[in-house]
Amino acid sequence: MNEKRELAAGAERFAPAEFDIANLQDEIRADGLCRELLGIFCRHLVETEKLPPARAGALAHGADYFLREFVIPDRRENIFRLRPGRVRQFAGNWYIVRNLEPNLAELTSILDGVAAFYGWCCDRGLVEAAVADAVRSDCGEHAFYGARIEAFWAITGDGYEAWERACTLKD
């Protein structure tokens, strides 16, 4: 089944409202739908964009990590109604404190997938252009995220609180 047929067949299932999260059942549903949508995205990259399967898989994996580890379970947020600054919170704080060896190369790979996914969603009318543009912009802040990783490793004493405030996860 091609991408257009998959999205059309799942139009009601992939409606933005289906990704709203108010309870655990909603979270489980949104996670499963997200997994399906990422599969369609990955197939699109291989079949339409003609990316090598390994590259397509890496992009889908990056988006998957951001969405299914951070946005859905941690922020409990609709992936299509992403709040401004979520990518920055993820890359400048959450990713760094949740990984044993946070590094800019891995983070850049993740962010490449996030930007590609939101661009694809925009092309299909699932997110507004302003959302995709903001995500793309935040994904490109490599120097900022690299400095955040370095500053994290340099924390001494009670310096964590100041580090956290500079790019907080608090809403």
The answer to whether residue 50 sits within a structural domain is yes
The answer to whether residue 13 sits within a structural domain is yes
Tallying the residues shown for the chain, one arrives at 171
For residue 83, the one-letter residue type is R
Cβ proximity of 121 and 127 under 8 Å: yes
Cβ proximity of 85 and 138 under 8 Å: yes
pLDDT at 7: 61
In tens, the pLDDT along 61-93 reads 999 999 999 999 999 999 999 999 999 999 999
| Per-residue confidence band for 17, with pLDDT thresholds at 50, 70 and 90 | very high
pLDDT at 13: 80
Q: Is the pLDDT assigned to residue 8 strictly greater than 70?
A: no
How far apart CA 106 and CA 155 sit, in angstroms, is 21
**Alpha helix positions (H), the chain:** 3-9, 24-47, 53-65, 86-89, 95-98, 104-123, 129-139, 142-153, 160-165
Q: Is the pLDDT assigned to residue 3 strictly greater than 80?
A: no
The answer to whether residue 103 sits within a structural domain is yes
Query: Which range marks the domain in which residue 130 is found?
Result: 3-165
| Per-residue confidence band for 143, with pLDDT thresholds at 50, 70 and 90 | very high
In tens, the pLDDT along 20-51 reads 999 999 999 999 999 999 999 999 999 999 99
Q: How many domains is the chain partitioned into structurally?
A: 1
Q: Is the pLDDT assigned to residue 6 strictly greater than 70?
A: no
pLDDT at 145: 98
The answer to whether residue 170 sits within a structural domain is no
The answer to whether residue 40 sits within a structural domain is yes
Q: In Å, how far from its chain's centre is CA 49?
A: 20
The answer to whether residue 161 sits within a structural domain is yes
